Amino acid sequence: MDPGTKYDVASVLERDTQITIANWLARVDEEPGLFKVHLSAKDRCAHLPQLFRDLVARLRHPLPLGSRALKSLGAVAHGRLRCDQGYTATMMVEESRMLQVSIFETLERNVEDTEPGVLLLYVMAIADEVDSQLAQAMTSYASKGSLAPIQ
């Protein structure tokens, strides 16, 4: 990125997706007691590229906060897969929490490169989207893979 140029948060997250995923994985790897399911890094992170694509799309095409986000087939598949892999519901919530922390750390590292005055709006949209995807994944997880809509 060019020094002195201000970027929207979506562009920063798009550019730093792999760095953010690597930071998330390092955070998850520091919690061996919590994540007792042994997976390769590739398998543990498989859902994240689509989540970031969905997140960037949400930031570029904002929805009113609290409105139902668009259905994410990636989130639904993630819930089914985590169920099959033996994750507990607590583990799914914790990995989502760690993802939000990793995303916010990415934003903090890049705060000087982002458009001033709108960061809080983006942070709220990020939290809303990540939580929406978690809800969709948990619905799929709890119903053992059905595509039932969130009520």
pLDDT (tens digit per residue) in 22-41: 999 999 999 877 778 889 99
Q: Are 51 and 75 in contact (CB under 8 A)?
A: yes
What confidence score (pLDDT) does residue 115 get? Answer: 77
Taking each helix axis from N to C end, the angle separating 89-109 and 48-60, rounded to the nearest 10 degrees, works out to: 60
pLDDT (tens digit per residue) in 102-142: 999 999 999 888 877 778 888 999 999 999 999 999 999 99
What confidence score (pLDDT) does residue 63 get? Answer: 83
The answer, yes or no, to whether residue 43 has pLDDT greater than 80, is: yes
What confidence score (pLDDT) does residue 32 get? Answer: 77
Phi, psi of 79 (to 5 degrees): -60, -45
**pTM of the predicted model as reported, rounded to 2 decimal places:** 0.87
pLDDT (tens digit per residue) in 81-110: 999 999 999 999 999 999 999 999 999 999
Q: Are 35 and 91 in contact (CB under 8 A)?
A: yes
The answer, yes or no, to whether residue 50 has pLDDT greater than 50, is: yes
CA nearest neighbour of 12 among 143, 111, 85, 83 = 111
Task: Mark out the alpha helices in the chain (DSSP H runs).
Answer: 9-15, 17-29, 41-45, 48-60, 73-85, 89-109, 119-142
